[in-house]
Structure 1
Amino acid sequence: MTWNTQSSFTAFTVAVERQLESQRSDRLFRDDLAEAFVAAGPSHLSASISEHAPVMSGYLALRTRHFDDWLLERTNSGIPQVVILAAGLDARAYRLPLPADTRVFEIDLPEVVAFKENVLAQLGTEPTCAVTMVGADLREDWPNTLVNSTSFDRTVATAWLVEGVLPYLSDADNDRLLDDVFRLSTPHSHLAAEHVNSAITRFAKEGPGRVVASHWKSAVDDPVGWLGRHGWLATVADQATVAREVDRSLPAVLDQAKTGNARLWWISCERGGEVGSRPTR
């Protein structure tokens, strides 16, 4: 794996963060595979994102737990398939108790997928449900690969998870990605995503988060309106409530008393419209 690309660097440092969280007695989740991924990677990248950017301390653990809970709620309610875009080195199909008949499709760059599959093969770890890993670039024709090279079923509802990637894509790439996801989804499909607003882009680049934010290429100030124009009925999570419900302090990067108008959005959506309808933008 080429570790000098931003996507592979991010995947690895987030795995370090999950490993550290898993070692806590009050952990929000348990990811035993994170340790194996970290051990197989380069030692010079063994610092977590919190070490690179202290303002992010606690953020990734809370984000992971939030989207874990979201995914379990959707699959337990009967959504039969999951697509995780930019899955990185997280392995939710292995560490979460997903229903056995769920189908999970993980998409990331080919080098990330190859590294991940190699480590999992060496461990002999079995997933909790069927999982297919797809090597594709989200800036290119990934829908064609998903539809024509896997068992993805366009006729059933899908839970889409887009975590930790949208800020690293351009506005045009993100618009195209959301249009693609809409076209691949039936009504009552669900989407969860993370994005940033323009204020946090400025805040992070000027402060201790610049190691992370220096690679951001886009932001959105009205996530509900933005998703709505792409055909999704969206709500934004109250992160203070999320933290309180799992008995954690609100991470500094989410504390409006410290960041002002800066926001990291956690968005949950349901697809509206009839099959074949199109987003309006």
Structure 2
Amino acid sequence: MTREAASAVEAAQTGVGPMALVALEQRFAPRERIVTDDLAAALLPPTARAALARMGPRAASVMAAFAERRYPGLWGGMLCRKRFIDEKLREALGAIEALVNLGAGFDTRAYRMLPGTGVRAWEVDQTSNIDAKWRRLSQRLGTLPPQIRLVAADLGRDALDATLAAHGYVPQLRTFFIWEGVTQYLDEAGVRKTLAFLATAAPGSRLAFTYVRRDFLEGAPMAGHAVYYHRFVEKRGIWRYGIDPAELPGLLASYGWRVIEAPEPQEMEQRYIAPTGRTLTCMPIERSVYAERI
């Protein structure tokens, strides 16, 4: 298997992990949750749902503590980025006409937040995730909302404009784009190909996305985070593309986007973790960004 193919497979498989964390988060008391999502468990594979059903708050707390020791900032970082994007989407609902989730995995935002808004949605991911998501949502909801389309595509290879157009999307719609936990699995050509597609978005569109720091991928030492470098860069070679935070505004500007907000990990901790009273952190190697098409 080529490096590109291995990265694509890994990216598809990582769709389950973040939603497993969200589902476990629902075992905490409401005041202690970073993210609230009553659909997350339904999107997990049957074995994972069965295991989750046997877990209570104590088991979830033990798992979160173990994750924090083994992978510092992973649990808190993933949940904070989800909360951040949730809030930005909610704030934008009155100003957008469409949602396009690039690399949607098993994300539930379209089903939790769009009913009754009139906003149409397109969720794009690899065929294996799209098929699994359709099955699990059909079991949970009975039928998928007619305004939501599941679109099978490879973000690194397929032409997004043509693929989405074939499913009814038009770039004239003011769109909220989500590109969460994807960029590091692409190469530079794949990232720029997606940015070129985003450059065709209607003015006033919004983009919420995440990226991994370039200096981390290049081997810069970051205390407590060598485990990530060993696993994702040295051993598997699946994290391939990073961005220098100082270069981010210029990169987006070259494709017609303006950064609105790019909070530091410590700010995310204060905003979303501190109110819960829990001892979690956000990993500094990943950043979240919110931008507007100008």
TM-score norm. by structure 2 comes to 0.78
Give the distance between the partners of 2:169 and 2:47, measured in 1 at CA: 31
1:107-126 deviation per Cα after TM superposition (whole angstroms, max 9, x unaligned): 00011000000111122256
Corresponding residue number in structure 1 for 2:248: 223
Give the distance between the partners of 1:178 and 1:172, measured in 2 at CA: 10
- Equivalent residue runs for 1:122-137 within 5 Å: 122-124=139-141, 130-137=147-154
1:173-208 deviation per Cα after TM superposition (whole angstroms, max 9, x unaligned): 10111011112x111111111111123333579612
Q: Which amino acid aligns with 2:13?
A: F
Q: Which amino acid aligns with 1:267?
A: V
1:214-269 deviation per Cα after TM superposition (whole angstroms, max 9, x unaligned): 42111110211111112111141244333323325685444xxxxxxx54221111
Corresponding residue number in structure 2 for 1:257: none
| Contact 2:212/2:243 (<8 A) preserved | yes
**Highest RCO, 1 vs 2 (Cα 8 Å, sep ≥ 6):** 2
1:40 alignment partner, one of 19, 25, 46? 46
Asked whether 1:197 is paired with 2:197, we answer: no
Give the distance between the partners of 1:172 and 1:90, measured in 2 at CA: 25
Q: Which amino acid aligns with 2:258?
A: L
Corresponding residue number in structure 2 for 1:17: 21
Counterparts in 2 of 1:271 and 1:242: CA distance versus 1, 3 Å = same
| Contact 1:37/1:116 (<8 A) preserved | yes
Give the distance between the partners of 1:239 and 1:250, measured in 2 at CA: 14
* Partner SS state of residue 24, structure 1: coil
Give the distance between the partners of 1:159 and 1:50, measured in 2 at CA: 32
Task: After TM superposition, give the deviation of residue 146 of structure 1 in Å.
Answer: 0.3
Corresponding residue number in structure 2 for 1:241: 267
Q: Which amino acid aligns with 1:168?
A: Y
Corresponding residue number in structure 1 for 2:5: none
Corresponding residue number in structure 2 for 1:207: 226
* Partner SS state of residue 220, structure 1: coil
1:61 alignment partner, one of 65, 75, 79? 79
Task: After TM superposition, give the deviation of residue 67 of structure 1 in Å.
Answer: 0.5
Give the distance between the partners of 2:270 and 2:9, measured in 1 at CA: 36
Task: After TM superposition, give the deviation of residue 8 of structure 1 in Å.
Answer: 2.6
* Partner SS state of residue 95, structure 1: helix
| Contact 1:189/1:270 (<8 A) preserved | yes
Give the distance between the partners of 1:19 and 1:42, measured in 2 at CA: 10
| Contact 2:130/2:151 (<8 A) preserved | yes
Q: Which amino acid aligns with 1:117?
A: W
* Runs of at least 5 residues in structure 2 that lack an aligned partner in the other structure: 1-7, 53-62
| Contact 2:160/2:194 (<8 A) preserved | no
Corresponding residue number in structure 2 for 1:270: 292
Give the distance between the partners of 2:287 and 2:72, measured in 1 at CA: 19
State the identity as a percent: 23
Corresponding residue number in structure 2 for 1:142: 160
1:129-181 deviation per Cα after TM superposition (whole angstroms, max 9, x unaligned): 8211101111122321101x222132221111111000110111101110111
Counterparts in 2 of 1:219 and 1:179: CA distance versus 1, 3 Å = same
2:257 alignment partner, one of 232, 250, 253? 232
Corresponding residue number in structure 2 for 1:28: 34
Counterparts in 2 of 1:37 and 1:50: CA distance versus 1, 3 Å = farther
